Structure 1
Amino acid sequence: MARGWQDGFWRLLQGRAVVKEARRRAEVVAAAGTHEARVAALPDSELAAAVGTEAEFLAVAREAAVRSLGMRPFDVQLLGASWMSSGQVVQMATGEGKTLAAAIAAAGYVRAGQRVHVASVNDYLARRDAEWMAPLYRLLGVRVGWIVNASTAAERRAAYAADVTYGAISEFGFDVLRDRTVTAVADLVAPEPAVLLVDEADSVLVDEALVPLVLAGQAAPAGADEQVAALVRSLLPGVHYLTDQQARNVELTPAGAVAVESALGGIDLYAAEQVGTVLPAVNVALHAQALLHRDVDYLVRDGKVGLINQSRGRVAQRQRWPDGLQAAVEAKEAIEVSSGGEILDSLTIQSLVGSYRRLCGMTGTAVAAGEQLRAFYDLRVSVVAPNVPCVRVDEPDLIFATRTEKNAAIVERIAREHATGRPVLVGTPDVAASERLAAELAAAGVPCVVLNARNDAEEAAIIAEAGVFGAVTVSTQMAGRGTDIRLGGTDGADHDRIAALGGLCVIGTARHAATRLDDQLRGRAGRQGDPGGSVFFVSLDDDLVRRHAPRTDQDPEYRIRHAQRVAEGADLEIHANTWHYHQLTAQHRAIIGERRDELLRTDRAARDLARSCPDRYAEVAATVDEPTLIEATRQITLFHLDRCWSEHLALLTEVREGIHLWALARERPLTQFHRAAMTAFREIAPTITERTEHTFLTVEITSAGVDLNAAGLRRPTSTWTYLVHEQPFGGQSELRQLYGM
């Protein structure tokens, strides 16, 4: 009782504090208006210097936007910038000018003496926004740069030297990973983290928070067994293997095991000699065959497998599954198996974000992600009302018993709207569904444009024209598309004519697992006070309903809402437990990183070896100069530190792959994992020392330095980066078992 009273009391105090802060920020924005006339009279050369209070800065930023961009920020944009400057995530509706609000907030941080990274969801948006806002930054005396996947090391250093740097969140992370392998200070690229401002904050901080960014070194191909892939393709579902649709898992039946054993020459699949080799190969091939579907989970394009980012509906650049599964899918599709690579280091986006001293952001659906943002980042959410009230009409869901009935109704509704000339945007769950609907519309005589992972490079142009008279656009996930849909298209032609028809009509062909993804789709209509409408078509045999609300004796509308709540709750629980799993590794990485940075920047390695190997140190010091000796000891120690860390990550991967065995033994897997990880980590420091001393005692060091390659201590001749999709099947029950829930 006392604890409940205390919690309620603190919530009351926090609520009052939020109201008070909101009032104060509204007063600051109002005060900015009182400076407008004075600031407007200043010449460009004096504008950036005419800043004292926050209100004066906002007034100057508004005037600078007018002069440089021809855009006068609304009060709500200044309010959004003000909230972001306080380290909060701002919810602003689509079309409300988040890009300009973010630029003003970033310039405000620079004014306070801090460098800013603005994280976008992809390269296109990073470059577009940086170039778009560049005139504003220049007028405010702020230097801006951007990085993309193709940026060279020199281009990256130049971009990071600017006051504000735009880039995809993954690019910032990959630069951190690459910096952890350099052997000279001059080769470092990324600066010390300061402020991170995140666009599409819910997508980056929640949907992709636990995606590991990976730096890999050259290795042999992963070596999927094409014979096993062909064998698995011949197996019959329901006869040779069973798929658990709830957990998204698959297993051989007794008949399937017999068929596999016979095809492989009469082996015993479960004999000791097969359990560590053939059985895993069969299982991973079976998972690739039964659970990963072409045009849903991945595409095959230009002879390569491209994973589809489910939260964004586009190909996930440089993303792959763990090597065994990646190779199995490639073998399934009969394409060349890509190199697996040895993982040199990895970093989750959540760990990367946590390294910044200040975090803020913006999105159209922050409130729905508020619990995760508070729990994992200690971030508060502030809602900024639209500049003009939203008049979009959101119809109740249209619910059908079967998908067949639903699909027919969708085509009929689209045809009816199209006949009037009203533009229609249709959201579909995956590539296959978008193309199936497009074919049905073509059969009904309704032309449409399809936007999915096959043509995501054209997305900006397609989305920009989705509001023209008579347009029908069928798209996969709209979150993070980054381009407004204006009635009448980019030139606004026929705006009034389309508005009279009701504005853009948004049709959802299924409910998403997260309500905020539904809201992202809805939010494409009704921008800046324009009319618009939205409606979702749902069937009771949609995947979401079947998996998360299987009971058929409930009210249909309740079942759909219940399915979303269950899915969202499961995702939150998995995020929390997976965060605990990665947190320990992140702490270990920080310790190793501090040690590595000290070795890189100081003579720590030389001092350590002078103490532990004094005779050898004196011997070498008599033949080479001090700088050469210091550099040689540095290179030796860095090599072994990097090698031991890579081995530690490989060990943790092995431990995690066997984690389900602890669950079967009725022990809490997470606790056992932490115990194994801590034990292994304690061995790293003495192992580094032992190997370093051995090399120092035996390797030849000359006036030219130390040749580690000649001593058989070779670093990878090439490295590459990618994201690894660790949970491709989304199996809730499997993951619950994994974490002992």
Structure 2
Amino acid sequence: MKTGEGKTLVASLALYLNALGGEGAHLVTTNDYLAKTGAGWMAPIYHALGMSVAYIAHDKSAIYDPAVELDAVDPRHRHWRDVTRREAYLADITYGQNSEFGFDYLRDNMIDDLANVVQRDLHYAIVDEADSILIDEARTPLIISSPAEDATETYYRYSSVAAKLNEESDYVVEEKHRSATLTDDGISKAERLLGVQNMYEGDVTAVHYLDNAVKAKALYLKDREYVVKDGEVVIVDEFTGRLMPGRRWSDGLHQAVEAKERVKIQRETRTYATITIQNYFRMYDKLAGMTGTAATEAEEIYKVYKLEVTVIPTNKPMVRKDDPDLVYKTEQGKWDALVRDVKERNTRGQPVLIGTTSVDKSQRLSDELRRHGLKHEVLNAKNHEREALIIAGAGQQGAITVSTNMAGRGVDILLGEGVKELGGLHVIGTERHEARRIDNQLRGRSGRQGDPGNTRFYNSLEDDLIRIFASDRIAGLMTRLGFDDAAPIESGMVTGAITQAQIKVETRNFDIRKRALEFDDVLNNQRNVIYSERRKILEKGDVHETVLGYLHDEAAGIVDAEATSTDAEDWDVEKIAQLLGALLGRADLTKKDFGEITSQDALGDRVAQLVDETYEKREQELGPEISRAVERWVMLRTIDTHWIEHLTAMEELREGIYLRGYGQQDPLVAYKREAHDFFEQMRARIAGGVAQTIMRVSVRTAEQAEQEEQQKNTTSTSGNGKSATGRTDLRTNRDAPGGNGQTTQTGGPQKLGRNDPCWCGSGKKFKKCHGR
């Protein structure tokens, strides 16, 4: 449905229908502001129909209540009453940002008390701006993590080395594939600068640091991929031009960019929970989406989400004129022609909206307009706070607005008095984007609801898309026809060549996302198993038989390992007693406790008997209620600990799996096989971990715990949450810089000495476990 044709109103019909069953319906948006505003806009309708409406945001949740009157300029923001996250999800209809829904799902699967679960079953969702969320946002998984070791000086060191390397001689940039590869000369030079003989010998972390430093220098450019704001490197969304505070590149790349800019380096993180956008939304029983620009992505949306794309005709005939592209030899020639066009239209009062692809380009164009005395407004990631004010005036007579892609979604530019007679809003694109739908979004700012308007794209052979994918064909034509810098080429053939280049890029990007999803599905299946087991533990409560079974299996493993001979004379029963005593927490076990045993079956029976006797005695000491709570706590803690380690192992496996292609192996097949082995090994470690931990847990009274907490608070801060992970410093990869956003609070110690027992309950020292 085209922009301005009433998607917000139409969505209310489907939301109401699917909320009638009482299972909840979600409206998913791209940011918190749109969630709050959209909910406030439609809430009076839902309320009149007897439906409760809520919204969730990064730092709060609220429910619509007409009795509440807040002091807000926007009437859509006045009638909201703060509620808990759980209450917001219990509303009939809940609005929220896509990442908030995903993170709440992950948090719900990290808690150790069902009372803290906030989401209901995922019944129905409508995704607004579906192509942005389901395709663009899908490239970046949602991650809850915790800081890992500090390597600040290492990043600065490798950044200094990369700064001394030269393009072409020391490294080669392949823009089409977004790669920067060291040459042999570059490797030798880097080794000299680092003072090492061979970076690729032994521990190859040096290669990882250097690769990231070179990428940060060559591929990640300031005011294009990111901006530096308040001493932070903040990513700029290439599709919308908006800042994405809190979002970070993974695998040390963000730290490499921070080192390049000489700002404070935030520590790398260790993943505690993760899910992709695709796999989250595919869990809904029913899923729908709406956008004005999904037609070009219909194949991907169907293949990934099994959703068909239907194009709704406009209410009034579209009268906007889309002029053919103009292509100039040089970028300066393009800017000069563009400014002449703007100046001419400004003279007669026609408003002009100019779309750019980056902050850097918007600032350069602003300088050109200023040099020609043209008054204008600039809307980009650096001044997004003024977005509403700038957009409100963009359709007035004589207005000139320079914007990045951020003015392309959810924006209604209303035409001022007399503007229709002047031809409506004139939209100029300064270059084509890799995705056709981004260009269509920009065009869609003009000619809304039958209004007049026209659009034109100005291009040059130096633009990224044409230079990388279509320059030879167009440049050859311009040379043969004798075009100079100031003369453009304008024809349907040129526009077609550019469109074909975009299709080529879209196809390549789709193949990349499709392949990535095939890998993600492997981990997703494993995550479903683990989360399902966690939920069963929380719902069932009694895991006594499971824990006792793990303990018996571990004890039987001791017998199998130590009593391999059929001759009882060969057995070291004293060692068996010692190992079993360590497992059961019984230092008093000796050879005498086994009596005269002459067969393996009899030995196994006696060991099983000792396990049962010891466990029963412990249960009598603690009482049934406490015993069940301890068993449940140990199960959850052990699952979480080994799942976190598994996620790290899977990340490392995936990073190197593509090398299998050189050995004539399909990387995906190899990944599935090894991931399965990893998963089975993790399951075995969970069983062993439960058995090794259950008899070592010490139970304290409330008074003892309070006294220890008071002593601990004199030296460190402790958490107060309900997660079984035992961490207090978890955050998401969408949290605001500086850590002011909503974090995942957990219980357990924050500060441990290197030789202290690890918080995870493994029994190892911190330095040998999670302190590595």
The TM tier, using the shorter chain, reads 0.7 to 0.9
| Residues 408 and 442 in structure 2, CA contact (< 8 A), matched pair in contact too | no
Alpha-carbon displacement from aligned partner over 1:171-212 (angstroms, at most 9, x marks no partner): 100111111111111111222111111100111111122320
User: Counterpart of 1:203 in 2: which secondary structure?
Assistant: helix
- Shift of the alpha carbon at 1:714? 6.8
| Residues 118 and 197 in structure 1, CA contact (< 8 A), matched pair in contact too | yes
Where does residue 423 of structure 1 map in the other structure? 351
- Shift of the alpha carbon at 1:706? 12
Where does residue 29 of structure 1 map in the other structure? none
Where does residue 551 of structure 1 map in the other structure? 472
- Shift of the alpha carbon at 1:659? 2.2
Q: How does 1:247-266 map to 2 (within 5 A)?
A: 247-265=177-195
- Shift of the alpha carbon at 1:142? 0.8
- Shift of the alpha carbon at 1:271? 4.7
Residue 541 in structure 1 maps to residue 462 in structure 2: yes
Return the structure number with greater relative CO, CA threshold 8 A, min gap 6. 1
Where does residue 225 of structure 1 map in the other structure? 155
Q: How does 1:364-513 map to 2 (within 5 A)?
A: 364-478=292-406, 481-488=409-416, 494=417, 497-513=418-434
Distance in 1, matches of 2:271 and 2:635, equals 19
**Distance of aligned partners of 1:468 and 1:155 in 2 relative to their CA distance in 1, 3 Å threshold:** farther
- Shift of the alpha carbon at 1:373? 1.1
- Shift of the alpha carbon at 1:261? 2.3
Where does residue 118 of structure 2 map in the other structure? 189
Alpha-carbon displacement from aligned partner over 1:394-451 (angstroms, at most 9, x marks no partner): 1111122222221211111111111111111111111101111011111111111111
| Residues 233 and 289 in structure 1, CA contact (< 8 A), matched pair in contact too | yes
Where does residue 626 of structure 2 map in the other structure? 628
| Residues 436 and 499 in structure 2, CA contact (< 8 A), matched pair in contact too | no
Distance in 2, matches of 1:704 and 1:625, equals 16
| Residues 408 and 438 in structure 2, CA contact (< 8 A), matched pair in contact too | no
- Shift of the alpha carbon at 1:616? 4.1
- Shift of the alpha carbon at 1:537? 1.1
- Shift of the alpha carbon at 1:678? 1.1
User: Counterpart of 1:269 in 2: which secondary structure?
Assistant: coil
User: Counterpart of 1:280 in 2: which secondary structure?
Assistant: helix
Residue 593 in structure 1 maps to residue 531 in structure 2: yes
Distance in 1, matches of 2:279 and 2:519, equals 12
Distance in 2, matches of 1:462 and 1:615, equals 76
- Consecutive unaligned residues of structure 1, counting only runs of 5 or more, are 1-91, 489-493, 725-741
- Shift of the alpha carbon at 1:480? 5.8
TM-score by length of 1: 0.81
**Could you tell me which of 191, 202, 205 is aligned with 2:131?**
202
Write the letter of the residue equivalent to 1:528: Q
Distance in 1, matches of 2:694 and 2:83, equals 34
**Distance of aligned partners of 1:572 and 1:479 in 2 relative to their CA distance in 1, 3 Å threshold:** farther
Where does residue 561 of structure 2 map in the other structure? none
- Shift of the alpha carbon at 1:576? 1.4
Where does residue 718 of structure 1 map in the other structure? 729
User: Counterpart of 2:350 in 1: which secondary structure?
Assistant: coil
Distance in 2, matches of 1:213 and 1:242, equals 32
Alpha-carbon displacement from aligned partner over 1:221-240 (angstroms, at most 9, x marks no partner): 35342122122112222333
**Distance of aligned partners of 1:620 and 1:476 in 2 relative to their CA distance in 1, 3 Å threshold:** same
- Shift of the alpha carbon at 1:723? 5.1
**Distance of aligned partners of 1:705 and 1:538 in 2 relative to their CA distance in 1, 3 Å threshold:** farther
| Residues 222 and 324 in structure 1, CA contact (< 8 A), matched pair in contact too | no
**Could you tell me which of 657, 660, 663 is aligned with 1:659?**
657
Distance in 2, matches of 1:693 and 1:643, equals 14
User: Counterpart of 2:387 in 1: which secondary structure?
Assistant: helix
Residue 310 in structure 1 maps to residue 238 in structure 2: yes
TM-score by length of 2: 0.77
**Distance of aligned partners of 1:457 and 1:630 in 2 relative to their CA distance in 1, 3 Å threshold:** farther
Residue 675 in structure 1 maps to residue 584 in structure 2: no
Distance in 2, matches of 1:446 and 1:286, equals 40
**Could you tell me which of 241, 250, 271 is aligned with 1:322?**
250
Write the letter of the residue equivalent to 1:115: G
Distance in 1, matches of 2:702 and 2:230, equals 46
**Distance of aligned partners of 1:612 and 1:283 in 2 relative to their CA distance in 1, 3 Å threshold:** closer
Residue 603 in structure 1 maps to residue 601 in structure 2: no
Residue 571 in structure 1 maps to residue 492 in structure 2: no
**Could you tell me which of 44, 50, 56 is aligned with 1:135?**
44
**Distance of aligned partners of 1:271 and 1:397 in 2 relative to their CA distance in 1, 3 Å threshold:** closer
Where does residue 156 of structure 1 map in the other structure? 85
Distance in 2, matches of 1:714 and 1:373, equals 36
**Could you tell me which of 641, 644, 664 is aligned with 2:642?**
644
RMSD: 2.2
| Residues 239 and 253 in structure 1, CA contact (< 8 A), matched pair in contact too | yes
**Distance of aligned partners of 1:443 and 1:269 in 2 relative to their CA distance in 1, 3 Å threshold:** farther
- Shift of the alpha carbon at 1:116? 0.8
- Shift of the alpha carbon at 1:703? 5.7
Write the letter of the residue equivalent to 1:397: D
**Distance of aligned partners of 1:338 and 1:298 in 2 relative to their CA distance in 1, 3 Å threshold:** same
Where does residue 739 of structure 1 map in the other structure? none
| Residues 631 and 705 in structure 1, CA contact (< 8 A), matched pair in contact too | no
Q: How does 1:73-222 map to 2 (within 5 A)?
A: 92-151=1-60, 155-222=84-151
| Residues 628 and 703 in structure 1, CA contact (< 8 A), matched pair in contact too | no
**Distance of aligned partners of 1:557 and 1:401 in 2 relative to their CA distance in 1, 3 Å threshold:** farther
Write the letter of the residue equivalent to 1:167: G
**Could you tell me which of 198, 210, 216 is aligned with 1:269?**
198
- Over the matched positions of the two proteins, sequence identity in percent amounts to 37
Asked which structure has the greater CA Rg, the reply is 2
Alpha-carbon displacement from aligned partner over 1:334-356 (angstroms, at most 9, x marks no partner): 11111222210101011110111
| Residues 298 and 308 in structure 2, CA contact (< 8 A), matched pair in contact too | yes
Distance in 2, matches of 1:466 and 1:582, equals 43
**Distance of aligned partners of 1:206 and 1:331 in 2 relative to their CA distance in 1, 3 Å threshold:** same
Distance in 2, matches of 1:253 and 1:595, equals 49
Runs (4+) of structure 1 moved beyond 6 Å? none
| Residues 211 and 723 in structure 1, CA contact (< 8 A), matched pair in contact too | no
User: Counterpart of 1:453 in 2: which secondary structure?
Assistant: coil
**Distance of aligned partners of 1:271 and 1:204 in 2 relative to their CA distance in 1, 3 Å threshold:** closer
| Residues 699 and 706 in structure 1, CA contact (< 8 A), matched pair in contact too | no
| Residues 632 and 706 in structure 1, CA contact (< 8 A), matched pair in contact too | no
- Shift of the alpha carbon at 1:304? 0.6
Distance in 2, matches of 1:238 and 1:611, equals 62
Distance in 2, matches of 1:610 and 1:245, equals 58
Distance in 1, matches of 2:322 and 2:108, equals 49
User: Counterpart of 1:683 in 2: which secondary structure?
Assistant: helix
Distance in 1, matches of 2:208 and 2:539, equals 45
Residue 289 in structure 1 maps to residue 217 in structure 2: yes
- Shift of the alpha carbon at 1:154? 5.6
Alpha-carbon displacement from aligned partner over 1:71-98 (angstroms, at most 9, x marks no partner): xxxxxxxxxxxxxxxxxxxxx1111121
| Residues 144 and 163 in structure 1, CA contact (< 8 A), matched pair in contact too | yes
Distance in 2, matches of 1:666 and 1:168, equals 43
**Distance of aligned partners of 1:382 and 1:559 in 2 relative to their CA distance in 1, 3 Å threshold:** closer
- Consecutive unaligned residues of structure 2, counting only runs of 5 or more, are 62-81, 478-492, 552-611, 710-723, 736-772
